[in-house]
Chain A
């Protein structure tokens, strides 16, 4: 790692002011992506602002028909939260499948969403559940938040404080892990609420997480795994690497969608 200054503020306001004081400062949430990147000397922040001691960022609450999760909630907290397991079991299951147990004890939902890694799991849930990202400045709809690989609507000095998930009628997440890294090579989150069906895909595209509209249309017509068959998945902008070419990933999107629908139907 390159040298950096370290600050551990106690409030969101102090975080904001610390960010203002250091050019190229970065927020340290769980650090499970940031620290390995820094260890490889691929990132050189001048300062790390550690959110570990900021009050009020870890709560998981039910508010009306939403589950609201603090940005510093660890993956393990979300996975084991009774509230989440009851209201949105697919989200708890997703959190319980990120990384490995030790990573889940450190990694946070806010860190994952803010980073928008193209093979992260949470962005698929945020998008498919139509969540709202709450920052210290505003509320951002999921559809507006993700703006391509590692790019989000967050502005300088803007910090995610919580994420609000509407409770779906049916939902499931199924991923195909990269055999080496175990990150999602393709992850598909399917949700249904009333007549609305959303299908969000992570891991596959060069653009990061995206909604699969063709699959959504087919599933709106009939929410059934069979409906997925015959829907062509356009892999033209998919990632191609040694683990999977674009056409293989396109196949996986179909297969994982089918499996997610089956799971959402409780079969």
Chain B
């Protein structure tokens, strides 16, 4: 067992863990933050995307131990005082989700896209940037709309 400490959604947490604990297991099993999901074994579906030190990463392909000392934000950490993040709101407004399983990863990736590419995103860019997030329900049509709308809204909320 080894010790890890990190900040998750603004709260300091620490625990003794088996070294083979993945970040996603640490979040789901130790912290009971079950909004981050696991949809594949090969680092492709993106249901597990969270932000570590402000950057989107796949928490199923990162050891919790490697995140010692970092600041992690999960889907549960986006809304503040009951006010949704503009990207969350955009997914709801544009019907960007159906079963909801890929949604947390989609939203975390979408915010990362905006952080990197700005607020004015064309369809081609959004589709390319969503390469690491698989959705089986929506055909991506409304996800693309959601990301574009959320990107604009994020500009307004700054």
Which residues of A are interface residues toward B (Cβ below 8 A)? Answer: 1-6, 8, 28, 31-32, 35-36, 38-40, 48, 50, 52, 76, 99-103, 105-106, 181-182
A46, chain B: closest CB distance, angstroms = 11
Q: Is the CB of B61 within 8 A of A106?
A: yes
A68, chain B: closest CB distance, angstroms = 23
Q: Is the CB of B20 within 8 A of A4?
A: yes
Choice from A3, A28, A102 contacting B18 with Cβ under 8 Å? A3
For B63, what are the chain A residues with a Cβ–Cβ distance below 8 Å?
A: 6, 28, 31, 35, 48, 50
Q: Is the CB of A5 within 8 A of B19?
A: yes
For A100, what are the chain B residues with a Cβ–Cβ distance below 8 Å?
A: 44, 46, 131-133
Q: Is the CB of A36 within 8 A of B19?
A: no
Can you list 27 A-B pairs with a CB-CB distance of less than 8 A?
A2-B20, A4-B19, A4-B20, A5-B19, A6-B2, A6-B63, A8-B65, A8-B66, A31-B61, A31-B62, A32-B43, A35-B22, A35-B62, A36-B61, A38-B20, A39-B60, A99-B43, A100-B131, A101-B56, A101-B112, A101-B113, A102-B58, A102-B132, A103-B58, A106-B57, A106-B61, A182-B131
B84, chain A: closest CB distance, angstroms = 22
What 1/0 mask marks residues of chain B from 16 to 32 whose CB sits below 8 Å from any chain A CB?
00111010000000000
Which residues of B are interface residues toward A (Cβ below 8 A)? Answer: 2, 18-20, 22, 41-44, 46, 49, 55-58, 60-63, 65-66, 68, 109, 112-113, 116, 129, 131-133
Residue of B nearest to A35 (CB): B61
Choice from B44, B49, B66, B112 contacting A52 with Cβ under 8 Å? B66
Main secondary structure of the interface of B (DSSP, over half): mixed
B74, chain A: closest CB distance, angstroms = 14
Q: Is the CB of A36 within 8 A of B43?
A: yes
A171 to B46 Cα, complex, angstroms: 32
Q: Is the CB of B55 within 8 A of A76?
A: yes
B33, chain A: closest CB distance, angstroms = 18
A45, chain B: closest CB distance, angstroms = 11
Choice from A2, A50, A101, A181 contacting B65 with Cβ under 8 Å? A50
For B129, what are the chain A residues with a Cβ–Cβ distance below 8 Å?
A: 101
Q: Which 10 A-B pairs have the closest CB atoms?
A: A100-B132, A6-B19, A100-B131, A1-B20, A105-B55, A102-B56, A102-B58, A35-B61, A102-B132, A105-B57
Residue of B nearest to A38 (CB): B20
For A2, what are the chain B residues with a Cβ–Cβ distance below 8 Å?
A: 20
Q: Is the CB of B62 within 8 A of A106?
A: yes
A88 to B70 Cα, complex, angstroms: 32
